[in-house]
Structure 1
Amino acid sequence: MIKDIRTYKLCYEGINEERDALAVKALAEHPMEIVVTEIETSDGQVGYGESLAYGCSDVVKVTIDKILKPLLLNEDEELIENLWDKMYKATLRFGRRGIVIAGISGIDIALWDIMGKKTKKPIYKLLGGAKKKIRAYITGGYYSEKKDLERLKDEVAYYVKMGFKGVKIKIGGKSMNEDLERLKAVKEVVGDDVRIAVDANNVYTFEEALKMGKELEKLNIWFFEEPIQTDLLDLSAELAKALEVPIAGYETAYTRWEFYEIMRKKSVDIVQTDAMWTGGISEMMKIGNMAKVMGYPLIPHYSAGGISLIANLHVASALGTEWIEMHLRRNDLRDKIFKEQIEIDDGHLVTPDRPGLGYTLREGVLEEYKCKS
């Protein structure tokens, strides 16, 4: 039975100077910020999950503490699907997207962590998967006053040296010509052996995205991620039809219902989703299997803490995806949260065979990175 649910707001300031296009245009950026959910059972098992908390950790924490926790106390922790439905249906009038689904995501991941620990199996095996290594592409090329073209080239050269065969560069935060110059500089470094994708973080209008997409085709760009606002699915479908460069997205969508519309409308060529905000491991598996049925490749998104990265990795292994997203910019909530080191082998993330998520939170980490306010 679920004995207690505890939540922790964690922050890391170290990457605050780097921005994507959305943050540049908003003239603001938040620190790396996550909400960690800790679930304890009556038989002493403890599991951990992570929720989306981009500048909204206070609200995510309150949602879990005041709304979701009372629904789950004294419930059977093994009935994960039933508990997901209970949370979702109890919050229909004010949930279905956003903060509530972010809270459900962290709880769901923690429940799967407990299930793996109880059965002494890694989550990917509980989900029926077999793939042990997933090729990672590295997202970089963030905007920074300290990063000129030479530093950008040095950054990408480091990724290539580590064995990664795909990189993704941020666009949309500078003029189109400036961003194209940045991409040409990256292409000089990686050559023809490494794939280059781009991410506009939803900032373009349809006309801007169409114009940029035509230029990206000339550079043989791998995919064009989140070119326009996620809500504009019909326009995104027009882009996908008009452009040869594949449209990827939308990680900013929530749950199977929204992703069904994305796929039904043919708004993307590549589906991207993330366990920390789409509804957890349970919902991400549903989206991934729906993508298989409808003929779309899925590439898990990643941008926050280590728990969500490993949750995404287990789902990727279960679904047998070819690629997964990874970051290498400084982030203690990824690199210093676990006792164990996240395993990378020749450009691949290695799925752990240890029970549950397969990683143990380092003692004292919840206090060390506790948000100051």
Structure 2
Amino acid sequence: MKITDIVVLQLRIENIENVFDGTQDVLIVQVLTDTGITGFGEVVSSSYVARAIIDAPRSGGGRHGLRSIVTGMSPLDTRAVWEAMYEGTSWYGRRGAAIHAMAGIDVALWDIIAKAAGTPLYRALGGSDARRMRAYASVLWGDTVVETERLARDFRNQGFQAVKFGFGPIGTSLERDVEMVAAARRALGDDADLFVDVGRRWQVEQAVERAAAFDDYNVGWIEEPLHPDDLSGYAALTQRTAIPIAGAETEETVAQFKAYLDAGLKVVQPDLGRVGLTQALEISALARRYGARCVPHCFGSGVNTTASIHWMAATGGTLTEYPMRSNALCRDLVRGVPSVSDGYVSPGEEPGLGIELSSDVVEQYAYG
């Protein structure tokens, strides 16, 4: 089996807001083969930059576009394809958007491997059963306390037993932060998990102060409280708070995740659209050796959501992120995304990811 082409679909909603919401524009990759099997992946990055990295022609050493590198290679050898992409982009890549684009292709290769074997993706990744796992509803904080309470109640009414709120007004003041967390906890009740995503807005002393103020609200973790470059800050913070610290969603290499684990994080959050499945399997194993949890970051389309569920099923994961934005790229683009029932989700049994794209949504939101 050989790779014959990569089809890149860039999709964008009409009105883009300057907020950290990866469902507003997405980049889907389809890896085509000479057997007719197609694999799906999603790139989580600047979709415009990553698209150029895939589409670029061959050039001087280490300056090639990804399509030109992988065409003609076997999709069944993910390690060989990864190394070829890494070396072929080494003059401008090795980190950042080049790795993100590679990650989307890598997920598509695993989809092909599973489809060729006639097995669901989680089995191709080494899993033995379609284990149920909790899915936490993931959404931005409401603009007000009242809006946050409404969102939390809605998710409980939908059966979710865990919710994460992120970005929005959090981080603006101690009083405001406590009000928002208290509102979410009131609406969720005492028997649901609450995760707080700060969006990299605090310094160490602010984070210590906020964590102490959150003690009464049973916060499951505090996510990305500091700038991602502040590893020394993370090392200090993890020694001074009892609430687990989560992070590293911005990172794209195994070495970077090891650095966060060395800094004391108890939850690392790889995004498959930034690391790919080949690296994600290594990161899961690395987190286990550190006694930490590996929980997917996932805030894009149903391609990434579905791949993350299969990855967790294959590696013994017990929790996965489930984005709950209301736009079409999050909710309607992908058919076959596993649904949540009573707060739990399981991977499907169809070969590969078991998904298809809605042609109507693709036609309506195609960009460029």
Q: TM-score under structure 2 normalisation? A: 0.91
Q: 1:246 and 1:220 mapped to 2: Cα distance?
A: 11
3-state SS of paired residue (2:366): coil
TM-superposed CA distance for 1:93, in Å, is 3.3
3-state SS of paired residue (1:242): coil
Q: Is the 8 A contact 2:135 2:340 kept in 1?
A: no
Q: 1:244 and 1:44 mapped to 2: Cα distance?
A: 52
Q: How is 1:167-178 mapped onto 2 (pairs within 5 angstroms)?
A: 167-170=163-166, 172-178=170-176
TM-superposed CA distance for 1:365, in Å, is 3.5
Counterpart position of 2:315? 319
Q: How is 1:271-290 mapped onto 2 (pairs within 5 angstroms)?
A: 271-278=268-275, 280-290=276-286
3-state SS of paired residue (2:214): helix
Counterpart position of 1:134? 133
Task: Indicate yes or no: 2:109 matched with 1:111.
Answer: yes
TM-superposed CA distance for 1:89, in Å, is 2.5
Q: 1:143 to 1:185 in 2, by over 3 A?
A: closer
Q: Is the 8 A contact 1:84 1:104 kept in 2?
A: yes
Q: 1:347 to 1:43 in 2, by over 3 A?
A: same
Report how many residues are paired: 356
Counterpart position of 1:4? 5
Per-residue CA shift, 1:18-41, capped at 9, x if unaligned? 94xxx5xxxxx8871111111111
Which range is displaced more, 167-176 or 234-243?
Answer: 167-176
Structure 2: state its 5+ residue gaps. Answer: 57-64
Per-residue CA shift, 1:208-240, capped at 9, x if unaligned? 222212212232211000010111112101101
Q: How is 1:152-231 mapped onto 2 (pairs within 5 angstroms)?
A: 152-170=148-166, 172-231=170-229
Task: Indicate yes or no: 2:241 matched with 1:243.
Answer: yes
Per-residue CA shift, 1:273-315, capped at 9, x if unaligned? 110012x111111111111122111111111111011111111
Q: 2:142 and 2:158 mapped to 1: Cα distance?
A: 22
Q: 1:277 and 1:198 mapped to 2: Cα distance?
A: 22
Q: 2:216 and 2:123 mapped to 1: Cα distance?
A: 42
Per-residue CA shift, 1:245-289, capped at 9, x if unaligned? 1100111111111111111232x11111110012x1111111111
Q: What is the RMSD computed on CA atoms of the aligned residues?
A: 1.9
Q: TM-score under structure 1 normalisation? A: 0.90
Q: 2:205 and 2:335 mapped to 1: Cα distance?
A: 48
Counterpart position of 1:101? 99
Structure 1: state its 5+ residue gaps. Answer: 24-28
TM-superposed CA distance for 1:10, in Å, is 0.9
Q: Is the 8 A contact 2:23 2:325 kept in 1?
A: no
Q: 1:83 to 1:202 in 2, by over 3 A?
A: same
Counterpart position of 2:266? 269
Q: 2:102 and 2:228 mapped to 1: Cα distance?
A: 21
Q: 1:92 and 1:359 mapped to 2: Cα distance?
A: 33
TM-superposed CA distance for 1:242, in Å, is 0.5
Counterpart position of 2:61? none
Q: 1:93 and 1:256 mapped to 2: Cα distance?
A: 20
Alignment partner of 1:361 out of 354, 357, 360: 357
Task: Indicate yes or no: 2:44 matched with 1:43.
Answer: no
Q: Is the 8 A contact 1:335 1:341 kept in 2?
A: no
Q: Is the 8 A contact 1:18 1:142 kept in 2?
A: no
Q: How is 1:292-307 mapped onto 2 (pairs within 5 angstroms)?
A: 292-307=288-303
Per-residue CA shift, 1:89-139, capped at 9, x if unaligned? 322332222100110011011111111111111110011112432201112
